[in-house]
Amino acid sequence: MKNISSINERVKKYAYAEIAALYNDFQISTDGYNHEQAENSRVQYGENLIIEQKADTVWHCIRRAFVNPFTIILFVLASISFITDVILPSNFSRNVTTVFIIVSMLIISGIVRFIQEMRSKKVTDDLSRIVSTTIFVRRDGVWKGMASEELVVGDTIRLQAGDCVPADVRLTMTRDLFISQSVITGESSVSEKNSIALNPLNEVPYAAYYNTAFAGTSVIGGSGEGIILAVGKDTVYGDISGWSNVRKNKFDRGANSIAWVLIRFMAVLVPVVFVACGLTKGDWVSAFLFALSVAVGLTPEMLPMVINACLAKGSAAMGQKETVVKNINAMQSFGSMDVLCVDKTGTLTGDTILLEYYMDILGNECSKVLDYAYLNSMYHTGVKNHLDTAILKCRKMPGRESYFSSLPTQYPKLDELPFDYERKFVSVLVKGADSNILLMKGDIDQVCRRCGLVEYRGKLTKIQPGDMDGVHTVADELLEDGMKVLAVAYKPLEDDSICASDEQDFILLGYLVFFDAPKKSAASAIEKLQSLHVGVKVLTGDQRGVAISICRRLGMEVTETLTGAELELLPEDELPIHIEQTTVFAELSPKQKANIVEVLQSNGHSAGFLGDGMNDLPAMTQADVGISVDTSAEAVQKSSDVILLKKDLNVLSDGILEGRKAFANMSKYIKITASSNFGNILSIVIASVFLPFLPMTMVQLLLLNLLYDVLCLVLPWDTVDKDIYSLPREWSGKTLGRFMRFFGPISSVFDLLTFAFLYFILCPFICGGDFTSLPSIAAQTQFIAIFQTGWFLESMWTQVLILHLLRTKKLPLLQSKPSFPVMTVTIFGIVVFTALPFTPLGTLFGLTSMPLGYLGFLAVNVILYMLLITLAKTHYLKKYHELI
């Protein structure tokens, strides 16, 4: 959470002032602001953009698309290439087109990513409009619903249960108004608000301003009116993105890790090449420029393009499965996720809960329990939930409609204390025939703790020490069966209002029993997640027994359970062990959910969180990938990475698979291309030291790059072996350097064999002598053309085949077949480029026809290369147990 050190001076000033001063200073009439006053206020104090999330603006989508560690490296290398190829051309420079290729790839890859993110942004914007915060505001003498963005300082607004406060508001009228300030205080307690001015002689912290509702806080119960004093970034909460985007995406950390591996290789190779070429050629300027070109040649030019294409493909695939990936980097987080934390209701169970029984303390049906519960739910002004909805459906019971419609007349409401996550119950005061009655409904443990008597068939019995286990017997049996149980209690009260101290010495009346059925798809979905080695942990506010029963019905192995109260008692050094071993966490507060996710991350896990309520926001923000549903609160949707258009765990397993496939194809390109480039650079450096000419022309290098780049462009559509995507993978550069050092020099060995065969055997045989003894320029030109053509063909074959050899742990083409696009591009490229030297078009690129004998040598060389790579791959797998 962002650090909040002060509040706006207007808010502070008028919290200590009387309401009349507020109306006078801001020239507010009883009709509220008119249009002209509102526009003037907007100009003077700014717009109310409190719910705008920076990461979702067009500008931030552009920045994400074009600015990342890979694009920065390639931009720097393009600048170097521009200097070496255009400004300071030398014999050792690569090609002016290198700049064009790199810049083109940067632009195209950025556009691909930007288009995909804008598509996702459009969907999330449409969802935001559906759930957009609408506040009642007094304008021109009329109360009207208005989007929170349109509110201005001086507006008179009305708040009610369920509202997210849109700005910092000085309250002018309240009625049982209770507000949760957890987003600004970090605590889950609820504060009762009123409109009385603070005492100027007793300054208190802003969290204790009982007459002010702060932006971002939630109305738990009651209603109120007030005048806006601060909007947008002037509020205490500020821009919501300042808090909800504190999480640094794991993709960025992995990208930085990979980028630094490449930079370290450059840091070693560039000075070595500079010294070697400078000593052998004597031209230190040319040696320096050639050393810089080595850095360009080492970096995979298509890196941003392939990565963005892989992520965009995965994101688009999820879009077809009713899942919106707001930030395509989250596809990688999906793939690396090894722990998924979920709430119970609506995820493992359905959204609809049924009231099955209303019973006394011994399990007999009791209409008085239902009557008191009905009054409590009907009069409760807090945010309605699925349990209240189930209770209120009893008014539609056949033959009982008139009875329940008459209850409010018999028992009018006097006062209430709404539900909060600390107390876990609701208290409502009603006027009875003989006396006032305080009705309580909520968590069994919390309610029973406040009861001193029990009622059974009209008789009251005092609860003795040790009797509570007996009182719990019926409820415990129901909880073990997976039913959700609430306790109902009451007490006579003389006063017409209530306070927290009144919530003691109740009479336990009985229980309400609800059936929360597991979803039919949940068991198979959990089985899929477990087969993908993703652990599922349930984080719920429900009772332990209910959560355990549901999990067991779904086939989840419940190794250990913990409640929120038990977590608080654990020593800090024991928390990581217990949280690691626990499957079900019950009776949690919002803050505890976030703490559990944080501990899992500190244990080395990549954690996801699926939630839909405001109480899930802290945990979702903390998680590596936050997942919400389309019916979530607006702030929850804004802070999530992924939005499910249907709340189904099967979709999550699909997302994990797509993420892992995207990761695998990205890793194929990065590891294989970087190692291949490393081998080629070694070969070119060695050849440049010993050969009197360049081993390949700039145009020929461009042709090779073109073929390989086209092949890499279809990598996002390559198939991925099951053994690769069956386990979560870490996105980092930890194994990249090892892979490059292991496989890169192997290609250099065969390059050098080819160099030797061409320079000492084939070319002298065809041209009539070694290069230095040839009498004419024409003969030397022929010698060079044969050498360059020979290495062009060998490089093309080895560079293409290594992609197929290292893309899988299995035997390529036989045990693991590439996708049709990859195979098609491979065959087409090899056939066309092998035939090119034998065509008139080949002469335009400096290529010449080769004798059939060389093709025989090439075939043997390529076969030996494939065998050696296969043996090396086997050794690598035995030693490191992974490839890609």
DSSP output for 48-60: --TT--GGGSHHH
Contact 188, 33 (CB under 8 A): no
The DSSP string of 589-607 is -HHHHHHHHHHHHHTT--E
Q: What are phi and psi of 412, to 5 degrees?
A: -70, 150
Task: With residue 673 as reference, give the H or E element that holds it.
Answer: helix 649-690
CA torsion angle 835 838 843 844 (round to 10)? -30
Alpha helices in 768-851 (DSSP H): 777-806, 820-835, 840-844
Strand partners, 33: 139
pTM of the prediction?
0.69
* Token pair of 480 as six digits: 């073990």
First-residue to last-residue Cα distance in the chain:
37
Tokens 């005092």, residue located = 462
Q: Considering only CA atoms, which of 333, 329, 335 is closest in space to residue 70? A: 329
Tokens 């509020």, residue located = 235
Could you give the CA distance from residue 824 to residue 818 in angstroms, rounded to a whole number? 10
Tokens 């081998």, residue located = 679
State how far the alpha carbon of 556 is from the alpha carbons of 344, 536, 561, in Å.
Answer: 13, 9, 12
Could you give the CA distance from residue 615 to residue 613 in angstroms, rounded to a whole number? 5
State how far the alpha carbon of 239 is from the alpha carbons of 53, 166, 231, 265, in Å.
Answer: 7, 11, 10, 42
Indicate the residue type of 631. T
pLDDT the model gives residue 846: 83
Contact 423, 446 (CB under 8 A): yes
pLDDT the model gives residue 621: 79
pLDDT the model gives residue 514: 87
Cα 512 to the center of its chain, rounded Å: 38
Q: Taking the chain (884 residues) in consecutive chunks of 10 residues, what is each chunk's mean pLDDT?
A: 57 92 92 93 84 57 72 73 66 56 72 67 54 79 89 93 86 86 61 88 83 85 90 70 47 75 81 79 72 69 74 80 77 85 72 83 91 92 77 88 91 87 85 92 90 92 78 76 87 90 93 81 83 89 78 81 89 92 86 89 90 75 83 69 76 85 86 85 81 74 71 83 84 83 90 92 91 87 92 89 89 87 88 88 86 91 92 92 84
Could you give the CA distance from residue 66 to residue 107 in angstroms, rounded to a whole number? 8
Parallel, antiparallel or unpaired: strands 168-180 and 354-360: unpaired
Contact 647, 629 (CB under 8 A): yes
Could you give the CA distance from residue 643 to residue 645 in angstroms, rounded to a whole number? 6
Q: What are phi and psi of 702, to 5 degrees?
A: -65, -40
Which value, in Å, is the radius of gyration of the alpha carbons in the chain? 35
Could you give the CA distance from residue 84 to residue 95 in angstroms, rounded to a whole number? 9
Dihedral sign for Cα 521, 527, 530, 536, please: positive
Strand partners, 164: 218
Contact 402, 169 (CB under 8 A): no
Could you give the CA distance from residue 238 to residue 243 in angstroms, rounded to a whole number? 9
* Token pair of 100 as six digits: 């064009």
Can you tell me whether residue 167 is helix, strand or coil?
coil
Could you give the CA distance from residue 51 to residue 734 in angstroms, rounded to a whole number? 39
Backbone conformation region of residue 212, classed left if phi is above 0, alpha if psi is from -120 to 50, else beta: beta
319 Cβ partners below 8 Å, 6+ apart?
119, 120, 123, 325
Could you give the CA distance from residue 358 to residue 374 in angstroms, rounded to a whole number? 11
Could you give the CA distance from residue 277 to residue 825 in angstroms, rounded to a whole number? 37
883 Cβ partners below 8 Å, 6+ apart?
806, 808, 809, 873, 876, 877
Report, as residue numbers or ranges, the catalytic residues: 343
Could you give the CA distance from residue 789 to residue 850 in angstroms, rounded to a whole number? 8
pLDDT the model gives residue 4: 36
729 Cβ partners below 8 Å, 6+ apart?
335, 336, 660, 663, 664, 667
Using DSSP, how many helices (H) and how many strands (E) does the chain show? 33, 23
Indicate the residue type of 842. G
CA torsion angle 472 478 483 484 (round to 10)? -10
